[in-house]
Structure 1
Amino acid sequence: MRRALVSIVIVSAITSVLGKWVPYSQLQARDDSALLSCLKSKGLDPVVQGSPNYTSDSAPFNRRLHWKPVAIVYPEDAKGVSAAVKCAAQNHVKVNARCGGHSYAAFALGGEDGHLTVSLDKLRHLSQSGNTSTIGGGNHLGDVALYLWQNGKRAMAHGTCPYVGIGGHAGQGGFGLPSRAWGLLADQVQSLEIVTADGQIRNASLKENADLFWAATGAGASFGIITSFTTVTRPAPNSTAFAYEFKNYTYKEASAGLQAWQAFASNSTNKLDPNVGLQIHVDPNPSAPHGVVFSVSGVYYGADKAKVNSTFAPLLKKLGTPTSILLQEQDWITSVLHLADAKNISQLNTTLASDTHDYFYATSTFISEQRPMVQAASDALFKYFYGPGTNTSIKWFAIFDLYGGGDSAITKVGPDYNAFNARDALYSIQYYGTIPHGTSDRAGIDFIQGIKKAVENDTVPKTQFKEYGERHATLQSLIAPVSEAMGCAVNYIDSEYSAEEAHARYYPTHSANLTALKNKYDLNRTFHFPQDF
């Protein structure tokens, strides 16, 4: 088991040394000429406000959050990254790395104005040798999948969006449909090269800087800029994609469907094969009789259609007759394309076309194996989907991703394997809503938070609410008891969380250790964002 057993001694003087970080937007005008001069002297050619490319270069994936970096630089290697970090530290400017730029909270741009963004677009080296691959920190998942397929038909477990950067994905965990068999992307990392706050280029692994390696594979954004990963790869298996759609469900039938799916996935007698990647999708659809479509889908790696049919027969007895069924035998790269909703292999090459953007709010909930969702919670959840969810301008969806069940590689390694802090998760729920023009941000955020509230109010036992008044009080009044019971997926980072709630939600048992390590490697918080340690 991978552990970082750091003695935690929080000295009271730390508070006076660090003080409270004041956002740049609250400071008086700052002279950044020294920073820019330093960057230029290192050949980094900073893009600043007023530069022709600044608007496009600083555009966030989430158009709702337009932070303004003091500068954006594009180093060509780890030495260039080191130079940028040193310039920022010397001039007391906070730093953030950007790989794919898909942070839901736009933390690659700082999460506030006035940071230095170090973009890793030029660090895209890739190599494959035996069962390991070395991957530059600027690579996107589509490019990695394509390279591994074309160089030995190798594969890793990772997410589905081709434009997601490997740095943020692996650095915060990184779930994919094969993860129950192979682990999270962070679990597949054997070593990494990282630039820390002092500008040093360090190697980190189980044997070298092991505490930094532990922290960076789960909470990487707080500890440095990862310029390279060495990961284990596997022979790319064939698989069968499956989808069972239930277009005619009422909310009660959908709630019963979730309960059946949850019981099927967590059955301790007939354990679900870890080669099954399993999801539920819930989507609004005006053409559906009740306005919502419920579907169970996924990929069964190494299985044919007959194996899929026999495996899911017990679940389908509970779910009823689907309105449509998909069964598609495929090779690995076809599976990658299927999950990415891409039509041809060129769409995995992210250098050929620009990324898309959205204006949205998203958040998540983990449901643990020890505390599965109770009937009252699933009833409340689907009543919301089939009620307010069918009468809103918000373009929402919800995805349930199975993490645990059976002998899942995610859950069997133990709670302290690395800084990822949800090894007890049975599944995650991502709630996502695109906010259309003419609808206020607050209305969009409140709608999505309403989904989350429906789940969490009815999942946490009543005993936890005795000192907090009414069981269905406002979300704000539930933060303390809920955070003890309900984790969240940091890869779906919630832009509305305070640092304190983020730590409780994303790192419920690791926050103290991560804070101690942050004080060791980055006492002055050179790497910083609003939910940082």
Structure 2
Amino acid sequence: MHLHTLGSATLLLAISSFAFAAAPTPSPQLATCLKPLGSKVITSKSSAYAQQRYAFDLRYTFQPEVIVMAQSETDVQTAVKCAKQANIPVAPRSGGHSFEGYSIGGQDGALVLDLTGLNGVKVKGSKAKVGAGVRLGKLYLELFNQGGWTINAGTCPSVGIGGHALGGGFGLLSRKYGLLIDRIVEMEMVNADGELLTISATQNPDLFYALRGAGGGSYGVVTSFTILPVKPAPKVTSFSYEWNLSDYAKVLKAYVNFQPTASRDVGVEMNVASSGLELYGIFQGPKGTQSAAMASFLKAAPKPRSSDVRESRQIDAQLRFAFVEGGNNDKDINALALQPPYHPGDSRYTKGKSLVYPSVLKSSTIALLGKWAAKTPKGSTANYIIVDLWGGAVSDTSASDTSFIHRDAHTVFEFVAEWDESSSPKPGKPDCKDCLKWMNDMYSEFLADYRANYSTSVRGYQNYIDLAMPNWMDAYYGQAVPRLKQIKASVDPANVFRFPQSIPLK
């Protein structure tokens, strides 16, 4: 999904004058406990509260009891201890892009632990230690600058690595290198008692299992990741092809039939919208080889109305699909640092859902893609369905090795509605009712088709978390649920880390 953030100065101007109901105030006990953190503690009496209480999606206006702008692991430890003592839930915030506002608690009265101050990136040998508050754009830039490395993560530069990685972390290199969790070899995590733990295959192995797939705020606050970065091909090829929506049936049939035989060097997504279909991706190799790798698909599909195929370095390909506005030209890789004047533009109002398909799409499913993409809700600035091709290295790891269960996924759908796009966004505006109706009516039809043609056990991707997901615990975690509950009860019996879709104690 193309989720982005506006510049902080613009956002502050937009929301500083926005009126909101009285926010909770910390109890004297909590205020005293947090006092050593000084100005890092933001309450409703602080001038910064109006800006920091919001995450990416301005639909969500939850009011934290307190926000801690952590600058170190010690800050995180202090904040967690104080929250446990005061019996208020802890909400870690890396990039703030949770689809349901869980990075600001998903409810009023949480202690939001903002991790953006923990944003170091250090490559040493064949490993990279990465702070949990770094955003993907800066991470790609730092890895490139420290030896030409990259990682197998998503495209959106403003997304924080924390939630992205702990929910799996799919991207355009996943068919070649697996999910991001598959290249994480160690983590540091503050537990419910405020202890800083090392998590790996040999140290706290139960948490190493749980965090890689179900770690988004349920077990503790991850403060750093040690990742095995990858060296991309010297020359890669980024590409896009476009078709009219009227060609959807033939294009999508060719696309899903391409998955089983496609080279692992091919990473692709298909965007299906009223404006047409766009296939875009990155091939790990030069332009001449890319044409051969895509030949079977392009032969089966109708001729595209347009195409754009470019040979470049991997970092340039990543910049192309980061949709970063500003700068002198699209080769200015420093735009990935997301420093002013660079700021991605999309709407700050959005609703998303997902479905994980285990096999080649049936004709009935393809027909639904064409039907619902053709509809444009009144008030929408964008509505679309992204169809990701999975397979390849994603399936190399056993579903029992991590808590990520979707190893056999053939395709994953992300359903998106956006509205109220603005350069000066204001929080808490009324929802676009027609956008949500489009989403809900469409999703109901896809669910019925899914149950009839694939499985009665519906599956969804937890990084596109949805409060209305049917039987959400099974949909996201399936056979891993019993073990995840046992680990939760063992490491957080007081349920300090809780939100509407956190792993429960029992």
What TM-score comes out, normalization by structure 2 length?
0.87
Q: 1:244 aligns with which of 241, 246, 262?
A: 241
Once the two structures are superposed, the pairs formed by residues 58-97 of structure 1 within 5 Å of their partners are 58-97=53-92
**5+ residue gaps, structure 1:** 1-27, 286-292, 465-480
- Contact residue 374 and residue 459 of structure 1 kept, 8 A: no
- Structure 2: distance between partners of 1:322 and 1:428: 23
1:216 Cα deviation (Å)? 0.9
Query: Any idea what the Cα deviations from partners look like across 1:318-341, whole Å, max 9, x if unmatched?
Result: 211111111100101101101112
1:349 alignment partner in structure 2: 337
Instruction: Say whether residues 1:376 and 2:364 are aligned partners.
Output: yes
Q: Which has the larger radius of gyration?
A: 1
Question: Aligned residue pairs: how many?
Answer: 463
1:453 alignment partner in structure 2: 444
Query: Any idea what the Cα deviations from partners look like across 1:377-417, whole Å, max 9, x if unmatched?
Result: 2112311222xx1454322122111111xxx1111211122
2:386 alignment partner in structure 1: 399
- Structure 2: distance between partners of 1:151 and 1:385: 42
Instruction: Say whether residues 1:319 and 2:319 are aligned partners.
Output: no
- Contact residue 206 and residue 213 of structure 1 kept, 8 A: yes
- Structure 1: distance between partners of 2:88 and 2:406: 33
Q: 2:460 aligns with which of 470, 482, 488?
A: 488
1:284 Cα deviation (Å)? 2.6
Taking a change above 3 Å as real, the CA distance of residues 463 and 507 of structure 1, as seen in their structure-2 partners, is closer
- Structure 1: distance between partners of 2:193 and 2:430: 44
User: Is the deviation greater in 414-423 or in 451-460?
Assistant: 451-460
Query: Any idea what the Cα deviations from partners look like across 1:434-486, whole Å, max 9, x if unmatched?
Result: 1339974443222113333332322322797xxxxxxxxxxxxxxxx4xx1x3
**5+ residue gaps, structure 2:** 1-22, 325-329, 422-428
- Structure 2: distance between partners of 1:244 and 1:339: 14
Instruction: Say whether residues 1:142 and 2:162 are aligned partners.
Output: no
Identity of aligned residues (%): 29
SS of equivalent to 1:508: helix
- Contact residue 238 and residue 312 of structure 2 kept, 8 A: yes
Letter of the 1:489 counterpart: Y
- Contact residue 365 and residue 452 of structure 1 kept, 8 A: no
1:41 alignment partner in structure 2: 36
1:518 alignment partner in structure 2: 488
Taking a change above 3 Å as real, the CA distance of residues 155 and 29 of structure 1, as seen in their structure-2 partners, is closer
Letter of the 1:59 counterpart: Y
- Contact residue 377 and residue 456 of structure 1 kept, 8 A: no
Taking a change above 3 Å as real, the CA distance of residues 349 and 440 of structure 1, as seen in their structure-2 partners, is closer
What TM-score comes out, normalization by structure 1 length?
0.83
- Structure 2: distance between partners of 1:409 and 1:57: 39
Once the two structures are superposed, the pairs formed by residues 100-119 of structure 1 within 5 Å of their partners are 100-119=95-114
1:339 alignment partner in structure 2: 321
- Structure 2: distance between partners of 1:217 and 1:400: 23
1:426 alignment partner in structure 2: 410
Query: Any idea what the Cα deviations from partners look like across 1:63-118, whole Å, max 9, x if unmatched?
Result: 11111100101122111101100000011011011111111111011000000001
- Contact residue 222 and residue 528 of structure 1 kept, 8 A: yes
1:42 Cα deviation (Å)? 4.3
- Contact residue 403 and residue 426 of structure 1 kept, 8 A: yes
- Structure 1: distance between partners of 2:430 and 2:40: 39
1:359 Cα deviation (Å)? 0.9
Taking a change above 3 Å as real, the CA distance of residues 529 and 328 of structure 1, as seen in their structure-2 partners, is same
SS of equivalent to 1:158: coil
- Structure 2: distance between partners of 1:170 and 1:202: 18
- Structure 2: distance between partners of 1:244 and 1:29: 51
1:193 Cα deviation (Å)? 0.3
CA RMSD, Structure 1 to Structure 2 (Å) = 2.1
1:41 Cα deviation (Å)? 3.2
User: Is the deviation greater in 345-354 or in 125-134?
Assistant: 345-354
Taking a change above 3 Å as real, the CA distance of residues 338 and 374 of structure 1, as seen in their structure-2 partners, is same
Instruction: Say whether residues 1:503 and 2:498 are aligned partners.
Output: no
Query: Any idea what the Cα deviations from partners look like across 1:155-182, whole Å, max 9, x if unmatched?
Result: 1111111111111111111111001111
Query: Any idea what the Cα deviations from partners look like across 1:358-386, whole Å, max 9, x if unmatched?
Result: 111111111113xx321112112311222
Instruction: Say whether residues 1:185 and 2:180 are aligned partners.
Output: yes
SS of equivalent to 2:134: coil
Q: 2:223 aligns with which of 227, 245, 255?
A: 227
- Contact residue 373 and residue 383 of structure 2 kept, 8 A: no
Letter of the 1:505 counterpart: A
- Structure 2: distance between partners of 1:317 and 1:141: 35
